Chain A
Amino acid sequence: MLRSEYRRRKSINVGENSKTYLIYVVSILLAIVYLVPFYWTVVKAFRDSIFANFPPNMNLFSQTSVAYFLANLKTVWGFGDFPLWYFNSVFISICVVAGSVFVGMLSGYAFARLKFPGRDYMFYAVLATLMIPFPVISIASYVFMLDLNWLSTYQGLILPQIASALDVFIMRQYFLTIPEEVELAAKIDGMKPWQIFFRVSAPMAKPAIAAATIFSFIGSWNNFLWPLMEVHSLNMFTLPLVLNFFKGANGTQIYWNQMMTVNILTMIPTIVIFVVFEKYFIRGISMNYTR
């Protein structure tokens, strides 16, 4: 940040100045373009009419009311087992995050710091999983779950999502940046390797843990293909399935105001997490891709 700040300060002269303003104007316009679909989503959820009228009414204060939104919310919450579906999504995501971050932390540390036979081969094996996209093995995973009789179960939804090469990389890269001297000091104090990990290294890796948490949460919360294949009973639905289900619940007519209420309820957790942890988010992606 400092460097670009310096670069910016240095570049302030008349010609550059107007260029900077142009950049700001374009940036703001682009942001507006990206906001419009979400803006209508929110406005529609505050309306009474189920139809998407033409031309779209983009006025925030016309035909909108909080009472309408609450009514929509009430309808949606009472639709099927909505509270249970919401719980399913939350529960599954939390389990996937806890599992994949913990597993990723342990192995990321082992790959970064500990020496043991076969380490490099195992790391290559984890690398190789990046070459196997989940959708192309989803059929076999589905048959596997069928064999285990795990269809429409929490374990069937959670366990296949836990191994995440992305989390392992984030963790490994971060542990590599922690100065070795710190761990050496702990070693000299007589700590065992696992003690060093839990008492010294892991607490220092908070930014990486945050990044991995955010990524696996969003990945699991937004996952559609796997629940679609895995879940064959209504009581195990997760929110993306609910969205798709609600879309078709009233035949060809989509009840737009209620649809957008469901959509908002689905999007809120990820957007809130993104806004709060934006810093970690962007750093997390760069951690993975720049080294």
Chain B
Amino acid sequence: MESNIYKNEKINVGERKRKRDPEMTTGIIFVIPLMIFVIVFTFFPAIYSFVISMFHYDPFFHNIYFVGLSNYLQVIRDPAFIKSLVNVLIYTAVVVTIQTFLAFGYALLFNTASRISRIARAIVFIPAVVSPVSMSIIFIWVFSNTGLVNYLLSFFGIPPHNWLFSTVYAFPAIMAMNIFTTAPYFMIVYSAGLQSIPQEVMDAAKIDGLKSGLKRFRYVYFPLMRFSTILVVILGLTGAMQLFDQIYVITDGGPARSTYVPLMYIYNRTFVYVGDIGLAAAASFVLFIIILILTITQRRVITERRW
């Protein structure tokens, strides 16, 4: 069939196979730009990062020499790095759990075809399109001495508190802010999932007597939303591990390193305590491995368990 399509070329099937297929040439030409960008700006830096991590690397004074794995040993023994890792793991556990439930709740709430739901959903989604830096600036006010949170608490007679300057409350405040802004983003993933549930399934559930909301949630939505949940958890997890913008803008890792996170450590190692980028690269690689392990295990846990 194919041989008749390019009738201008006037060649038979046997010859065409040997000649270059125009589809093949076009395909290769079409992917080349992408592959160049992917190789040069993603794969190369990934490998380069590993190479740099094996060196004492000070590009400004050209003081570069091979040190093997000693950067890694130094990094994992560094209390600041350990602290940052513990912080980000706590942050991830709290934020991913709450935002996943919240995202699903929002999606259920807005799962009607009415205009009100549509507009409300669009409004709730706004923080997800605004830059994290803008949101951080607004939330500096929200959690400040004279901000919204203290205003709301004053109705209950709770005295104002400087949330972001407290070693106890600064990190939870940032968690709250990020739950507030990322839950709407993942809501859309669940919304799309909910819309793809066939009406027959819901009818069958009704006939089977699954009338209460809780039962419907347990036996209908939950199993059917498994794929969406995998996505939301994995994306949330990798996103949470890369927390940086908000911390940099709001607290800069302080007070007393209570909001220190790995990317903050990596940034400081490169740009604040200038001298050895190799350490920063080693720390990035450790973070990368942790994200990778978490993603893979998460995937396995969620897909293999029978609900």
Q: Could you tell me which A residues sit within 8 Å of B by CB distance?
A: 1, 3-8, 20, 23-24, 26-28, 30-31, 34-38, 40-41, 51-56, 102-104, 106-107, 109-111, 114-117, 119, 122, 125-126, 129, 131-133, 135-144, 146-147, 159-160, 162-163, 168, 187-188, 190, 192-194, 197, 218, 221-222, 224-225, 228-229, 239-240, 243-244, 247, 254, 256, 259-260, 263, 266-267, 270-271, 273-275, 278, 281-282, 285-286, 289-290
Q: Is the CB of B130 within 8 A of A290?
A: no
> With A20-B112, A27-B109 given, is the CB distance from A139 to B123 under 8 Å?
no
- How far is it, in angstroms, between the C-alpha of A190 and the C-alpha of B146 when the chains are bound? 71
Contact of A139 among B38, B113, B266 (CB under 8 A): B266
B residues at A contact (CB < 8 Å) = 5-8, 21-31, 33-35, 37-38, 41-46, 48-49, 52, 57, 59, 106, 109-114, 116-117, 119-127, 129-134, 137-142, 144-148, 150-151, 154, 160, 180, 184, 188-189, 191-193, 195-196, 199, 202, 228, 231, 238, 241-242, 244-245, 248-249, 263, 266-267, 270-271, 277, 280-281, 284-285, 287-288, 291-292, 295
**What's the nearest-Cβ distance from chain B to residue A55, in Å?**
5
Provide the residues of chain A in CB contact with B144, threshold 8 Å: 52
Q: Beyond the given A27-B120, A114-B30, A143-B52, please list 16 additional residue pairs across the A-B interface where CB-CB is below 8 A.
A: A5-B113, A27-B110, A30-B120, A30-B124, A38-B138, A51-B146, A52-B144, A106-B30, A116-B24, A125-B43, A126-B38, A129-B43, A136-B284, A256-B141, A271-B130, A274-B129
- Inter-chain CA distance A1–B267, complex, in Å, is 47
Which of B42, B151, B241, B266 has the most CB atoms of chain A within a 10 A radius of its CB? B42
Tell me whether A107 and B57 are in contact (CB under 8 A): no
Q: Is the CB of A126 within 8 A of B59?
A: no
Q: A243: which of B21, B30, B137, B191 is its contact (CB, 8 Å)?
A: B137
> How far, in whole Å, are A204 and B200 apart by their CA atoms in the complex?
32
Residues from chain A with a CB closer than 8 A to the CB of B195 are 4, 286
Whether the Cβ atoms of B116 and A24 lie closer than 8 Å is yes
Q: Which B residues lie within 8 Å of A267 (CB)?
A: 130-131, 134
Across the A-B interface, the 4 shortest Cβ-Cβ residue pairs: A286-B192, A222-B131, A114-B27, A116-B27
Q: Cβ of B284 and Cβ of A103 under 8 Å apart?
A: no
How close is B296's CB to chain A, nearest CB, in angstroms?
Answer: 9
Is the Cβ of A56 less than 8 Å from the Cβ of B151? yes
Contacts of A289 in B (CB 8 A): 189, 192, 228, 231
Closest to A123 in B: B31
Residues of chain B with a CB closer than 8 A to A194's CB: 26, 29-30
Contact of B131 (CB < 8 Å), options: A144, A221, A281: A221
Task: Collect the chain B residues with CB atoms within 8 Å of residue A285's CB.
Answer: 188-189, 192
B266 to chain A, nearest CB (A): 6
**Residue from the list A54, A115, A190, A229 in contact with B271, Cβ < 8 A:** A229
* A4-B112, A34-B126 known; A110 vs B31 contact (CB < 8 Å): yes
- What's the Cα separation between A94 and B63 when bound, in Å? 39
The complex places the Cα of A168 from the Cα of B42 at a distance, in Å, of 15
Instruction: Indicate if the CB atoms of A31 and B35 lie closer than 8 Å.
Output: no
